[in-house]
Structure 1
Amino acid sequence: MFNDRSSLPAFFATRRSGKARDMVAPGPDAEQMRRILSAAIRVPDHGKLAPWRFVVIAPGQRDAFADLLHRVYRETQGEPTARDSAATEEFARQAPALVVVVSTADPSAKIPLWEQELSAGAACMNLLDAAHAEGLVGCWLTGWAAYSDTVRAAFSPTGRIAGFLFLGTPGRELQERPRPDYADVVSEWSPPA
C-alpha cells in the first residue's frame, strides 16, 4: 500500500506524455522494464481474463519492425512519398524502448467485450504511470499501423493493437498541454425527474 498519501496527487499531477521523437537514452533497463510491465498488469480485470499482452520490441529488432511498416505501407497505401517514408522510419526507431500493447479481448467470454477493452486501456495507462515512477517518460501512440490487419497479425493472431508505448528519457523539457477545466468535466448526478 502506498503510504505517502501527501505525494500521490503530486505524482499524478506531474505525469506528462513526452514526444516519442524527443526521447533519448537511457530507456528502461531490464529491471525497470520488468517493474513497469509488472505494474501494467495490475489493472481492473473483470473475470481475471488478462485481456491484454505486452510485446517488447528489442533494440535489435527495430530494423525488422521498420521493414514491416514500410512493406505494409507500400502494400496498402501505394508508393510512399519521401515524407511518408521518413515518418514511417522515425516511428519505428524513435525512443529507446518500445512496447506494443495488444488487446486480446475474448468475445466468447461472459465478461462484456467493452470491459475487456477498457482493461487493455487501463494497462496502457498503468504502464505510463509506472514509467513516470521510474523517472522515465512515456508516449502512447496508435496511427495507421495500429489499425493495419497485417501489422496486428505480426503481434497477435486475433488481438487488436491498443497502442505503441514508447519509453525513454526526455530529450527536452516536457511541456504542459491544455487540460479541460475541472467544472467542464466533473458534475454531480441528479436523478431524472
Structure 2
Amino acid sequence: MDALELLLTRQSSPRLVAPAPDESQLNTILSAAVRAPDHAGLNPWEFIIASGEGLDRLGALFVDATEADGGDATTMDKVRNMPQRAPMVITVVAKVVEHAKVPALEQHLAVGCACMAMQQAAFALGLGGIWRTGGLAFNRHLHQALALDDEAQIIGFLYLGTPAVKAPIKPAKSAQDFVRYL
C-alpha cells in the first residue's frame, strides 16, 4: 500500500484479535512514532505497552482507578475487560518538558502525531488498530498508578492486533466542506 492510499483509506479497526504485532512489527511501529514532528527534539512521549498478562494488569489498574473515583460494580467490570479488546494496548503519554519556545499544547499535539503514526504503521504492516481515549485518560488515580508526573497526560490508548473482520471503507468526505481561503 502506498503512502497516499494509506492516508486516504485510513479507518479504525475496533474488533481486534491475536496475533498482536510481533517484535519486528512493534519496533517498526515505535520507530514511526518517534519520527513525528517534535519541535526542539524534546521527545515528549512515553509508550506503555501491555500484552499478554500486561493486559490483565492494565485492567486491574483501570478497576482501581475507577473504584477510587467511586465507580459502581458494573462500571468496574466494564473497565476491567477494556484492555481485552485487543492483544496489545499501548498507553500513549505526553510527558511535557518545560521549554520557552515549545508550549505544552504543541507537545501534546506532537504525541498525538506519534499515536497517529503508530496506527498508520500498523495498517501499513497489515495489522489493525483503534485509538481510544475516554475518561480513564484523564483519571489522576490511573496516572499515579502508572507513575506519571503531574504534567503528564495520557493522549490515548492505542489498541493493536489483527482485524477480526475487514471493515468496509467509509465514504470519502469532501475536504472542501471544511476549508476557507483568506
TM-score by length of 2: 0.90
Offset at residue 179 of structure 1 (A): 5.5
Alignment correspondent of 1:127: 118
% same residue: 34
Asked if 1:63 is matched to 2:56, the reply is yes
Q: Supply the distance in 2 between the matched residues of 1:31 and 1:39 (Cα, whole angstroms).
A: 13
Report 1:1-193 matches (<5 A).
Answer: 7-19=2-14, 22-81=15-74, 84-155=75-146, 156-158=148-150, 159-177=152-170, 180-187=173-180, 189-190=181-182
**Structure showing greater Rg:** 1
Contact 1:73 1:80 in 2 (8 A): no
Alpha carbons 2:51, 2:87 under 8 Å: kept: no
Q: By how many angstroms is 1:109 displaced?
A: 4.3
Check whether the contact 1:43–1:123 (CA below 8 A) recurs between aligned residues: yes
Check 1:180–1:51 CA distance in 2 against 1; reply closer, same or farther (3 A cut): same
- Cα distance, 1:119 vs. partner? 0.4
The residue identity in structure 2 corresponding to 1:12 is L
Q: Deviations over 1:105-133 (max 9, x none)?
A: 12444312221111011001101111011
Query: Which stretches of structure 1, 4 residues or more, deviate above 6 A after TM superposition?
Result: none
Judged with a 3 Å threshold, the aligned counterparts in structure 2 of structure 1 residues 178 and 89 are, in CA distance, closer, same or farther, namely farther
Count residues in correspondence.
180
Aligned Cα root-mean-square deviation (Å)? 1.8
C-alpha displacement of 1:93: 1.6
The amino acid across from 1:166 in the alignment is Y
Deviations 1:55-98 (A, max 9, x none): 111312222211111122122023332xx234212212220111
